[in-house]
Amino acid sequence: MEQQPKQNSINHEDNSDPEFERQVQRLYELTVYSRWLLIVFVWLTIVPICLWNLRMEIALWKEYFTFAAVRYGLISHPLAALGLAFSVGMILAVLIWQSRNILFGLSSEEKKLLEDRVWRIRKQGSNHPLWKWICN
């Protein structure tokens, strides 16, 4: 007997169901909200710590602001510089991702991933942590 090759995606029925489309939209909105909540968490935790570590340099920058002073201040505090770069990078990544989705819509790959996740949530039922937000 020949075995059929397994497909990576979940086999499911017709995706034109309006309820299914609403559920995919809810999952997308939940993804957007969760990314922004992560950004808020990062900016409320990491950024104040980094700025606290740079407090002496910031006082110096207030008196004599030059880009050389900023550069040497960040070089002398690499963890603070890394934390600030991470925070700025995270917010830029989310802004670019969301702007691309607003301007051009979801790519077919992202839409397929969201659809597969909704099918997995539906298949698992009320035991899935996202069930009440997606399928109710």
The amino acid at 27 = L
pLDDT digits (tens, 9 = 90+) for 65-121: 899 999 999 999 999 999 999 999 999 999 999 999 999 999 999 999 999 999 998
Angle at Cα 90 formed by Cα 78 and Cα 114, nearest 5°? 150
Angle at Cα 41 formed by Cα 46 and Cα 31, nearest 5°? 135
Tokens of 58: 């910031």
The conformation of residue 2, written as its DSSP 8-state character, comes to P
Residues 6+ apart with CB under 8 A from 98: 32, 35
Determine phi and psi for 94, rounding to 5 degrees: -70, -40
pTM across the whole model: 0.77
Task: Find out whether 81 and 70 touch, Cβ atoms under 8 Å.
Answer: no
Task: Give residue limits of the domains in the chain.
Answer: 18-134
Residues 6+ apart with CB under 8 A from 89: none
Q: How far apart are CA 51 and CA 56, in angstroms?
A: 10
pLDDT digits (tens, 9 = 90+) for 10-40: 445 556 688 889 999 999 999 999 999 999 9
